[in-house]
Chains A and B, each alone.
Chain A
Amino acid sequence: MITVNVTVNGKKYKRDVEPSKTLLRFLREDLGLTGTKEGCGAGECGACTVFMDGHTVNSCMVLAAELEGRSVETIEGEAKEGVLSDIQAAFDRHHAIQCGYCSAGMVLSVRELLKRNPKPSVEQIKEGIEGNFCRCTGYQQIIEAVLDVSGQEGSKGELHYV
């Protein structure tokens, strides 16, 4: 067992972890934060995306043992005092959620994108979420939500509707 001190959504935890435990399983099983989902377990789908030290990572490919002194943010930290974050509210308005399985990772990837690029183009949005699969294929609504939350609803013309 390895002892780690880690901050998750602003709260400090001290836990003993098996070397083989991933950050994803640590969040879900040890801390009960089940908002983060497992999809492929191999870094393809992005369902397990969380922030670690200010940048997004696939939590299925991080060991919990690596967490000493690190700070993690998950989807549970997104809404504040029961109020949806701006990104979550935009997803809600645009029906950018179907089954919801990709949403946690998708919202956090959008957060990362908007941090570095507050007004992304449609192409840049697609690139920002390229590591997040939505198998309901509801990508158009997700892109619309990002355009909305970044104050660019007028740019919808760049989207091609079939």
Chain B
Amino acid sequence: MLSGFNYAAPRTRGELLDLLAAEGQGAKLLAGGTDLLVNMRSGAVKPRLVIDVKRVEGFSGIEWSAKDGLVMKASTTINDLLRDREVRERFPLLAACAHDLASYQVRNRATVVGNVVNASPCSDMAPALLCLGARARISSKTGTREVPFKEFFTGVKRTVLKADELLELIIVPAEEGGARGSYRKLKRINGHDLGIVGVAMMKKGGLMRIAVSSAAPTPVLVDGLNETSTPEAAVAAVRKAISPISDLRCSKEYREHMVEVFVRRLLEELK
């Protein structure tokens, strides 16, 4: 059972930002609800006001242009991303990570923005966005700012977002289009499951970036590698960047081992 709260479905961006400014901590934004409603049901989150962002004009869909790159909105779902031809052709790593997120009916509702603002260490979209140098366009009543995803996550379930702020757009730069990439996610079963560890790899124009989920308080990006880096160098750099813990899903040592296995497999795959 969900406890009592009020529900608002603003139609304009202005109305939404006013509501957020007025309610602050007491408000929660609802897009797909696949995390929010579960957390509200368990009592972990108790908002006074739930603000549905899906009716706001201009907050859905996905846009590609050679000038602005790929732009995802606050209501863009994971399956919107997977159904988009530009994404599948230009950003295979985004599609690979999206495809590994939960189940089909969850992907019909869950949003890309929701997956990152939750800031779970096991976020599936964060590794792709980190590898692709994506930026977060953050808005509030008082203005707009942009933060690269490299600086977006500040801890377990914590981000740079303030109570009156909204992650309005996710922008993947156009120059990252065409990058090769792949994602490996360790799960208990083949079907939908939270990741035990996840490793994303991107290669483009001599560059190589690796991002890892579920192996540190936040998803982490490993910079400073290139296509000629040896497997040993790549593994060493990744090991240095992560700080996994032991929990009920597996031990720290197993996570470290599997991250290494996945890095080597991805290097083989993206040769």
Contact = CB atoms under 8 A, between A and B. Distances in A.
Interface string A33-70: 00000000111101001000001111011110110100
Contacts of A61: 32-34, 37-38, 109
Contact of B103 (A22, A55, A130): A130
Interface in B1-53: 1-7, 9, 30, 32-34, 37-38, 41, 50, 52
Q: Is the interface of B mostly helix, strand, loop or mixed?
A: loop
Contacts of A57: 105, 108-109
Interface of A: 2, 19-22, 41-44, 46, 49, 55-58, 60-63, 65-66, 68, 109, 112-113, 126-128, 130-132
Contacts, number: 85
A65 B54 CA distance: 12
21 contacts: A19-B4, A19-B50, A21-B2, A43-B102, A46-B105, A49-B105, A60-B37, A62-B37, A63-B37, A65-B7, A65-B52, A66-B52, A68-B9, A109-B105, A112-B104, A112-B105, A113-B104, A128-B104, A130-B192, A131-B104, A131-B192
A43 B104 contact: no
Contacts of B41: 41-42
B7 A2 contact: yes
Interface residues of B, number: 29
B50 A126 contact: no
Contacts of B3: 20
B191 A19 contact: no
B33 A131 contact: no
